[in-house]
Chain A
Amino acid sequence: MANKISDETIEYVGILAKLELSGEEKEAAKADMGRMLDYIDKLGELDTDGVEPMSHVFAVQNVFREDVVTNGDMRADILKNAPGEKDGMFMAPRTFE
């Protein structure tokens, strides 16, 4: 395997992705990611100099809304699925130190 994924990398990606992997999962993830990256490295065979990266497949452009209020109070609907709710707000673990 050309791509060796270190523990630090898996740890780091876990922080980015907010995933906590068990020891076993971490090992599997290291192997999987290394193999996938080896595979993706195949793209390096292609000369893409001067090729414009294509983020959008079609020439659809300038899609806008007018600045007109269309929504009313939907609070009850918005909070319907909340795991925790108080005073019309979503409850989250504290963010303040």
Chain B
Amino acid sequence: MAKQYETVIGLEVHVELATKTKIFCGCSTAFGGAPNTHTCPVCTGMPGTLPVLNKKVLEYAVAVGLATNCTVTRYGKFDRKNYFYPDNPQNYQISQLYLPICRDGSVEIETEAGKKQVGIHEIHMEEDAGKLIHDEWEDCSLVDYNRSGVPLIEIVSEPDMRNAEEVIAYLEKLRMLIQYLGASDCKLQEGSMRADVNLSVREAGAAEFGTRTEMKNLNSFRAIARAIEGERERQIELIESGQKVVQETRRWDDGKGESYAMRSKEDAQDYRYFPDPDLAPIVISDEWLAEIKAAQPEFRTEKMARYKKEYGIPDYDIEIITGSKHMADLFEETVRLCGEPKKVSNWLMVETLRLLKERGMDPEDICFSPENLAKLIRLVDGKSINGTVAKEVFEIMFEKDIDPEKYVEEKGLETVSDEGALRRAVEEVIAANPKSVEDYRNGKGKAIGFLVGQTMKAMKGKADPGMVNRLLKEML
């Protein structure tokens, strides 16, 4: 019988924090600037420059630590991690090794196999590197330091996961917690959340862990799942053929569906960490910690319970809406404005989800404001527009966050409630469709639907369908 193997997985998750400025200087963290336009002497490693810590970075890191049940380090420091690479302007990265800001936490994940705790070994703060662009023409690399110094936290898990499903559940859990804290938008594709997978295999029942590898460049859940499967197989093959797994860093190529070692002679992997003398130690008092704790938001589990009690919307809706902090905020604020939880939920669950899916967007990308959604709901409630028009307006709103009241007015989309005009339209429809009229009069009730449709069409969709129905019945 073939041997049974167990996969052991630990994750190193880098999360880009949602601060306005970099971790050690006053440069903007905004995306999309022309190369090196968000840089200064500090984040480009000019001689004589010194780092000063962004307080918000520390607060976010502590908040994430509290949300993941960590012990917050009361006396912390930064360390320098020394290695040469052009994206790293000082040729050392300011990070934390000896006294990371948080330690010993855990989060609960849920998969089909049930609930499980995943341990958090530590969370530390560090700076991001710049970007390298390959220039084919000159056959060189070009360096853009706009991302250099963007604040990151690295969340290092214990090797507690056993398969891709658990890994993805863990990542989803972290993403949810961190999004709820507002500490990051955690987008895998855009790199604001990046996961490196440490993986080893061992014979089922073995007490010792096998030799692990670290897999980098995983940009989607799909890539993570595929890389885990690929690496598991690669390691098992090595073991079965009597070879050894080498402890190394590998890069996943999702296009080819395989990984390769990133080793080179010049990569000594000896980072010579030591406490950074340029940064003062961090001391977190009880009061400060209590303040950060008090400022923690309502997390998803609590929110779900409250929604059920307060709004009485279906569980499925709650699941979807609270699955995105942005959507939950949007929901709550819109309900506050218009007082119609079910209607707000309907707009989110039906039209919003449909459009997100069609356009391949995430709930975080929703751009319309709660004010405008509330206005739209009021327009429908007040019968100023009918459902069909409302959907059209919503689609525009989804795209450009227009003010629906103004839009309806400008485009003249208000429901025609002038009975005289409607009556004339109905008369014309009756005159033009003798066959349907005949059918209706002969007892085919359904025929009225066609006539309503024709009338709505004649009114360019702006009639109140209820009213059209009543008039038709009256006049037939």
Contacts and interface: CB of A to CB of B under 8 A. Distances in A.
Interface of A: 12, 15-16, 18, 55-56, 60-71, 73-75, 77-79, 84, 86-96
A89 to B, nearest CB: 4
Contacts of B40: 71, 74, 78
Given A16-B270, A74-B40, A87 B132 contact: no
A89 B133 contact: yes
B436 interface: no
Contacts of B39: 74-75, 78
A68 B35 CA distance: 21
B391 to A, nearest CB: 41
B20 interface: yes
A70 B58 contact: no
Interface string B38-56: 1111001010000011111
Contacts of A79: 36
B44 A71 contact: no
A28 B132 CA distance: 38
Q: Is the interface of B mostly helix, strand, loop or mixed?
A: loop
A70 B84 CA distance: 29
A67 B20 contact: yes
Contacts of A69: 20-21, 26-28
Contact of B266 (A15, A78, A94): A15
B143 A65 contact: no
A90 B143 contact: yes
A4 B143 CA distance: 41
A56 to B, nearest CB: 6
B142 A78 contact: no
A91 B138 contact: yes
Nearest to A69: B28
Contact of A15 (B144, B145, B268): B268
A64 B34 contact: no
Given A71-B40, A92-B86, A87 B142 contact: yes
Contact of A66 (B55, B77, B265, B268): B55
Contacts of B279: 63
Nearest to B288: A62
Nearest to A75: B36
B125 to A, nearest CB: 12
A15 B37 contact: no
Contacts, number: 137
Interface of B: 19-21, 25-28, 33-41, 44, 46, 52-58, 77, 82, 84-86, 132-135, 138-145, 265-266, 268, 270, 272, 274-275, 277, 279-283
B143 A89 contact: yes
A61 B99 CA distance: 15
A95 B139 CA distance: 10
Contacts of B33: 73
A69 B270 CA distance: 35
A87 B140 CA distance: 13
Nearest to A63: B280
A81 B244 CA distance: 48
Nearest to A73: B37
A61 B56 CA distance: 16
Given A89-B144, A95-B132, A71 B27 contact: yes
A75 to B, nearest CB: 5
A56 B85 contact: no
A94 B37 contact: no
A67 B56 contact: yes
A68 B265 CA distance: 42
A88 B34 contact: yes
A89 B272 CA distance: 29
B392 to A, nearest CB: 40
A55 B99 CA distance: 13
Contacts of A18: 84
Given A63-B280, A67-B20, A75-B39, 14 more contacts: A55-B274, A56-B77, A56-B281, A64-B58, A66-B55, A67-B55, A68-B20, A69-B20, A75-B35, A89-B143, A90-B36, A90-B142, A92-B141, A94-B134
A91 to B, nearest CB: 5
Contact of B35 (A55, A56, A63, A87): A87
- What 4 pairs across the A-B complex have the smallest Cβ distances? A70-B26, A64-B55, A89-B142, A55-B275
A78 B36 contact: yes
Contacts of B282: 61-62
A58 to B, nearest CB: 9
Contacts of A66: 54-56
A47 to B, nearest CB: 23
A87 B36 CA distance: 10
